[in-house]
Structure 1
Amino acid sequence: MPIDCAVSGDGDRLLAAVSGDLDLGAVADLRIRLLKCLAEQPRALLVDLSRMTVSEPLALSVFTAVRRQAARWPGIPLLLCAPEPMTGSHLRNARHRSLPVFPTVEAADRHVGVDRDTLAMLNDELLPVLGAARQARNLATEACLRWDLPDLLAPASLVASELVSNVVDHAHTMMTMRLTLRPRYLQIAVRDGSTAEPVRRPSPETVARRGRGLMLIEATAHAWGWLPTHNGKVVWASLPVA
């Protein structure tokens, strides 16, 4: 049975119910589906394995890779739930022992519910026009002032401006910018409606007109990257909170 992944949830936490047989040939598709869940920036991602079998145990490494991305951005837990006995046995192998596994979805949900402090967050919808970068800088400034992050005023404004300008220059779609304050990082993410990868090295014309785009973000941020969404992508960057 081919692998499938049905996603449900309320935005606070997403549940990805995986069904079918997991082998190495299914890894790429499952990885993309789970990364799209992360792009929604939930508080937690629960993965229900009760209807999944494993014909090639090495394929379980897909969950390790996605968990690593979840920790990097958006900084959320990924929890595996209700594996079949044989799958559970594979997950107890030393290679996968770091993965958090819970006997039921309810048990995983209770674990997530232990720490659900309200996150500080600001969102804005932006048009792909020249004034969008200024609007992004204003929102970044508002976030830093509201959350008492004076040292991040300049870098956050730069990162926000460059992320939004990249959409204006290349994606040409409506976008949503979100700033989230987590315990260690200020996260800035911009979601657009283009599936094309972000352009890391701009053309000479773009450099002359505006700057070096994602290369500046790479030099300024602690980390940055991008993930596919169901109808585009989200490009993110994180700045350390002193």
Structure 2
Amino acid sequence: MTIAFQVTGDGRELLVEMIGRLGLTDVADVHVRLLKALAEQPQSLLIDLSGMTVEEPLALAVFTAASRQAARWPGIPLLLCTARPPVHALLTGPAYHRLPVFDSLGTARAHARDHGGETMPAISDDLLPITGAPRHARDVATDACLRWDEPGLVGPASLIASELVSNVVDHAHTMMTLRLSLRRRYLNIAVRDGSPAEPTRPLRVPGRTDLNRGRGLLLVDASSHAWGWVPSADGKVVWASLARPRS
């Protein structure tokens, strides 16, 4: 690994400084580290590349993958900052021109402030892996939807919150944090637990209704606009999004 990371944040903004020479052998580790930064669910993620050089331009595709994940969940801007002419030229060239690239942290922060819009509401709750946790998760989701004037999302949001929490109770057996956040187009529901194990993917078998393995996530898959998971610093986050009704 030739890339060093320094991560700082204030709860709203998370700054990742990457230092070293980026090559293809670094891509997998860089991708995981960026996903772990997204798992913190900041309002914006800034990546400072002023201390980084590029050994292989194809390795920059890792930022495209991270940017796509940031857009899907948690629905935040991922902004790249570099004053190095060679790196800046590569990132603004034809292959990566869709990535938001700025020549300084100051301009990136100004862009996030001016175009990120107002801070959207969020609610979170820490839960024990006990039998009553799914019911409590349903109550939290219901309260959030009603508080945010989204009564049409009460049903699917409470179902998803309950199933994500049940998955932790049944499989991870760790403390967890349930978080619901409202974005312009989506209501996001996420559960963070202390197990790094990948959640069981749902299996669709025609005519079968007795599936136990992954059945809860099958309901999440059927009820949500999109869902997935990302590694975190101490486990993982399983997330799902619901499209908000257009007014």
SS, match of residue 96 in structure 1: coil
Q: CA RMSD in A?
A: 1.7
Aligned counterpart, 1:102 = 102
Structure 1 unaligned regions, length at least 5: none
Q: For residues 214 and 56 of structure 2, what CA distance do their matches in structure 1 show? A: 47
Aligned counterpart, 1:215 = 218
In the TM superposition, residue 11 of structure 1 has moved relative to its aligned partner by 1.6
Structure 2 unaligned regions, length at least 5: 204-209
Q: For residues 158 and 48 of structure 1, what CA distance do their matches in structure 2 show? A: 39
Aligned counterpart, 1:178 = 179
SS, match of residue 95 in structure 2: helix
User: Does the CA-based 8 Å contact 2:202-2:214 persist in structure 1?
Assistant: no
User: Does the CA-based 8 Å contact 1:166-1:199 persist in structure 2?
Assistant: no
- Residues 195-237 of structure 1: per-residue CA shift (max 9 Å, x gap): 00112349xxxx6889921010000000000000011000000
TM alignment of 1:182-193, pairs within 5 A: 182-193=183-194
How many residue pairs end up in the alignment?
A: 238
Q: For residues 101 and 88 of structure 2, what CA distance do their matches in structure 1 show? A: 8
Aligned counterpart, 2:240 = 237
Q: For residues 84 and 105 of structure 2, what CA distance do their matches in structure 1 show? A: 13
TM alignment of 1:119-198, pairs within 5 A: 119-198=120-199
User: Does the CA-based 8 Å contact 2:145-2:151 persist in structure 1?
Assistant: yes
In the TM superposition, residue 155 of structure 1 has moved relative to its aligned partner by 0.6
Structure 2 length as normaliser, TM-score?
0.93
User: Does the CA-based 8 Å contact 1:200-1:213 persist in structure 2?
Assistant: no
In the TM superposition, residue 118 of structure 1 has moved relative to its aligned partner by 2.5
Aligned counterpart, 1:86 = 86
In the TM superposition, residue 83 of structure 1 has moved relative to its aligned partner by 4.0
Aligned counterpart, 2:207 = none
Aligned counterpart, 1:24 = 24
User: Does the CA-based 8 Å contact 2:201-2:217 persist in structure 1?
Assistant: yes
Q: For residues 12 and 190 of structure 1, what CA distance do their matches in structure 2 show? A: 19
Aligned counterpart, 1:42 = 42
User: Does the CA-based 8 Å contact 2:202-2:217 persist in structure 1?
Assistant: yes
Q: Which amino acid aligns with 2:224?
A: A
TM alignment of 1:62-81, pairs within 5 A: 62-81=62-81
In the TM superposition, residue 176 of structure 1 has moved relative to its aligned partner by 0.3
User: Does the CA-based 8 Å contact 1:46-1:79 persist in structure 2?
Assistant: yes
In the TM superposition, residue 107 of structure 1 has moved relative to its aligned partner by 1.1
